[in-house]
Amino acid sequence: MRIVRFCVPAALLLAAASCSSEKPGAEKEPPEVSDASSARVRRLTRVEYDNSLAAVVPGMPSLSGTFAPEDTILGFSTHDRLQVTSLLADQMDNAAQNAAIYARSQLKVHDKCPADANEEKCTTEFFFTVASKAFRRPLTDDDKAALVDFWRETRKTADPQTAHQIFLQGLFSSASFLYRTELGAPGEGANQVVRLTPYEVASAISYAITAAPPDAELLAAADADALKTADQREAQARRLMATPAAQKRLAHFIREWLGITGLANLNKNNQVFPAFSAAFKDSSQSETRAFIDHVIANEGGSVKELLSADYTFADGRMSAFYGTTSTPNGVIGRVPLPADRAGILTEASVLATYALFDSSSPIRRGKFVLTRLMCRTVPPPPASIVIIPPAPAADSTTRARFAAHTNNPTCATCHRTLDPIGFGFENFDGLGKSRTMENGIKVDASGSVEHSSGTFSFTGGAELARFLATSEDVANCVPLQVFRYAMGRDEDTFDEPVLADMRAAFKANPRLQLGDAFVSLVRSPYFVNRRTLSP
C-alpha cells in the first residue's frame, strides 16, 4: 500500500512547545534555586527515538539506523543542539511511515473498532491511549480536540485501515513525540525560574539513565506528584539504575566519554601493522565491549576498576596479541593482563584509536588523557603552525621525531603538557602492541603528568593508568563528564553547587562508581528547575 506523505497538523507540531501537561488545578511549586539553565526543547537522539517507539509499540524494530549521523559537542551526541536538517526530516518521515505500518499490524485497531456508528468514538479513544504513550504524558483537552479533528480529516478520504496508518504516522511525526520539553508549567512570566512539571521530571530522569521514556512506575509517580523531593527522585533513579537499559546507557556513556565510538571505522597501514585486519578489529571491539559490560554489571560501574583492572576479556587472537594466556577454547573470556597493561587505557582499541594510520601519536594520546580524563582544555594550535605530524623514519623513534617537531617555541606552551603524557605510552605502537624497541632503538616510555597536587612521573601506560585510577583530578572530571552527557549542555557558573554535590557523592565511594554521579545529579534542584526564556 502506498503511504501518502502529509503535513502534521499545526496543533500537533506546536504541542511540544505550547503544552507541558501540568495537572488541572495543580498548585505551582516555587523554584528551589535562584538561577537555573534555560528552558528548552530537546530532540530525541537516534537511540532515544528507537526506544521511544518501542515503548509505544513493543517489538518495534530499530528504525534510526538510516538517520544522518549525529554530531558531538564536548565528545557527546546527547547535547541539546541536535538539529533537524531537511535530509533528516525526510529520513524521519520515512521512519514514521514504517513505524506506522508496523504499529497498525500490531495494534489491530480495525478489529477493535469496526466501521460502524461508534467507529469515531472507539477509534479516537483507543488512539488517545497510544498518543499519551507517544507524548509521554497525559493528553490535554486541546490535544484530544486536535487528534479528533485529525482523525475526521483523515477519514474523509481514506478507508479505516489506511486512516489508522496515516493517523499513527502523524503521531510518530509530531513534535510531541520527536522532542521532549523542559519548560515548566505554562503561564509563567519571562525570565523566571520555574519547576519542571512532574511529567517533564519523569522524562528527564528516565532519558538520562535509560535513554528511554518513563516506564509505568515512573509515570505513576509523576501522576501522584511523587517526584518533588530529592529522596523521591533518588529512589526512582536507583530503581532504574538496576535495569538492563541503564547498563546499556552507562556503556554508551563510557564509550562516548573515552571517544571510542568509531572503532568500526578504524583503519591502519597493514605494511606497518601486519596484525591489523577485519578480524583483529572485531576482536578488539568485542574485548572492549565485554570489559565495559563486566565493569558495569559486576563492579558497579567502578571507574577505578575500569582504569586499573589487571585483567581483560579477550579471545584467542587478542590474548596472543597481548602475550597472555587464553581461554581454553579461545572464545572471549576473562584473561590476566601482562604487567605492562592496566585497564581500558591499555586495550588495543583505545591505543589504536589515539594513534595515526602508520604510527603511534604521543600528541593524540596526551590530549586524550588531558581532555577526557582530567577535563583540561587544550587550545587549538595557532593558524600559522603546520600541524602535519612528522613522517615515520627508519632511523628514529616516534618520540624523537615528535619531540623535534613540537620543539617550536610557539608550540611549547601546550606541548610541554601534552607530550610528556603521550611519550609515556610509547611502550605501545600505533596498534597497541607492546614494544621495547623501535627501528632497532630502545624505546623511552618515561613520561609525566601535571595534576592538581604536582607532577607524577611514570614509565609506561600501565603505571599512568594506575595513577589515574586514584587521581583527584579524574575523580573531579568524571562527574563533570556525566553532567555534560546527561544534561546535554556545557556547565555554567550557577552549576557549581550541583557539580560539587556530584563530586562529593562520586568520591564518597573509593571505587568511584558512575551510578553515584548520575543519582546525585537527579537529586539536585538544578535538575528540576529552569529559567523561562526572555521575550
pTM of the predicted model as reported, rounded to 2 decimal places: 0.93
Res 395: pLDDT: 83
> Which among 97, 116, 235, 114 has a CA at the least distance from the CA of 168?
97
Q: What are phi and psi of 228, to 5 degrees?
A: -70, -45
Per-domain residue ranges for the chain?
A: 10-248, 259-469
Res 6: pLDDT: 34
Question: Dihedral of CA 432/433/436/438: which sign?
Answer: negative
Res 22: pLDDT: 58
Catalogue the E-assigned strands of 168-246: 179-182, 193-195
| Rounded (10°) angle between helices 230-241 and 244-257 | 90
> Which among 295, 332, 296, 299 has a CA at the least distance from the CA of 313?
332
Res 287: pLDDT: 98
Task: Quickly count: other Cβ atoms within 10 Å of residue 482's Cβ.
Answer: 24
CA distance 99 to 97: 5
DSSP state of 222: H
pLDDT tens digits in sequence order for the chain, 535 residues long: 333 333 333 333 334 444 555 554 455 667 788 899 999 999 999 999 999 999 999 999 999 999 999 999 999 999 999 989 999 999 999 999 999 999 999 999 999 999 888 999 999 999 999 999 999 999 999 999 999 999 999 999 999 999 999 999 999 999 999 999 999 988 778 899 999 999 999 999 999 999 999 999 999 999 999 999 999 999 999 999 999 999 999 999 999 999 999 999 999 999 999 999 999 999 999 999 999 999 999 999 999 999 999 999 999 999 999 999 999 999 999 999 999 999 999 999 999 999 999 999 999 999 999 999 999 998 877 766 666 777 788 888 999 888 876 666 666 666 788 899 999 999 999 999 999 999 999 999 999 999 999 999 999 999 999 999 999 999 999 999 999 999 999 999 999 999 999 999 999 999 999 999 999 999 999 999 999 987 6
Task: Quickly count: other Cβ atoms within 10 Å of residue 101's Cβ.
Answer: 15
123, 380, 408 from 385: Cα distances, Å: 66, 10, 9
> Which among 306, 296, 305 has a CA at the least distance from the CA of 242?
296
